[in-house]
Amino acid sequence: MAARRTGGKPTFTEQARRRQLIEATIEVISARGYGGASLAAIAEHAGVSKAAVLYHFGSKDDLAEATLGHVFEAFGAHVLDRMAAAPDTRARLSAYVRGLIDYQGGHRTHVRLITEVLLDDRGGTRFRQPGQHDRNQRWQMLAELLAAGQAEGVFRPFDAKTTALAIGGAIDNVVSQWLADPGLDLTAAADELETFVLRAVEAS
C-alpha cells in the first residue's frame, strides 16, 4: 500500500514515479528532440498513461524543466565531488575540466537533453532559469577557482571571468565534436585540454 501524502510532500511512491518519468523524458528527448517528444510518447516510453504524466507534471514544459534540473543536479554533484577530492587549487582546476568532460562522456543522453531543452529552434534559450541554468552564471565557479589560484600565486595574472569563458568554450567544443563524431577519443581529448588549460594559466 502506498504511503499517504503528508504536508504536501510527494510520497515515496510518487517520488519514484516522478523519477521514472524524468528518466523516460531524458531518453525520449535525446532520441527525438524536444519538438518530437510529446507527453504521449513519454508516457508510452514510461509505460504509463498520459493522465499519469499530467498528474505529476502539469505540462510538457514543467516536465522538461524538472528533468533539466535533475540532470544539472547530477552533473554538478559529479564535478563537485571530483573537486572536493583534489588536494590543491591546481588539482581542483584539473578536476573541474576532467569532471565536466568525463560526466558528459558517460551520459550522452544527458548532454543531448541539455541542448534540446535549453535551446530553441532559433538558437535562443527556451527556458530561462536562475542559478546553474543561467548561462550568464554558468562559469562563475570556474572564474572563482581561477581567482583563488591567482591569490595563492599559483596562476598568473589574467581576467578570471574572460579566461573562464574561454576554458568553458573549449570544453563545449570538445564535447560538441564528440557528439557529432562518436569515434573521437574523448579521453585523449580531455588529456590534451587539461594540459592546455594548466599551461595557459600557471604562473611561470
Q: What is the mean pLDDT of residues 97-109?
A: 90
- pLDDT of 94 > 60? The answer is yes
Q: Is 63 exposed, middle or buried (0-12, 13-18, 19+ CB in 10 A)?
A: buried
CATH class as words, domain 60-201: mainly alpha
DSSP 8-state class, residue 139: T
pLDDT > 80? residue 132: no
Give, in degrees to the nearest 5, the angle at Cα 140 between 139 and 145: 100
Q: What is the DSSP letter of 4?
A: P
Tally of CB atoms within 10 A around 114 = 20
Spatial separation of the C-alpha atoms in residues 31 and 15, rounded to whole Å = 24
| Span of 8-12, 55-59, 60-64, 158-162 with lowest mean pLDDT | 8-12
CB count, 10 Å around CB of 91?
13
Give the model's pLDDT for residue 7. Answer: 52
Structure-block grid coordinates of residue 33: 528532440
> Rounded to two decimals, what is the model's pTM?
0.79
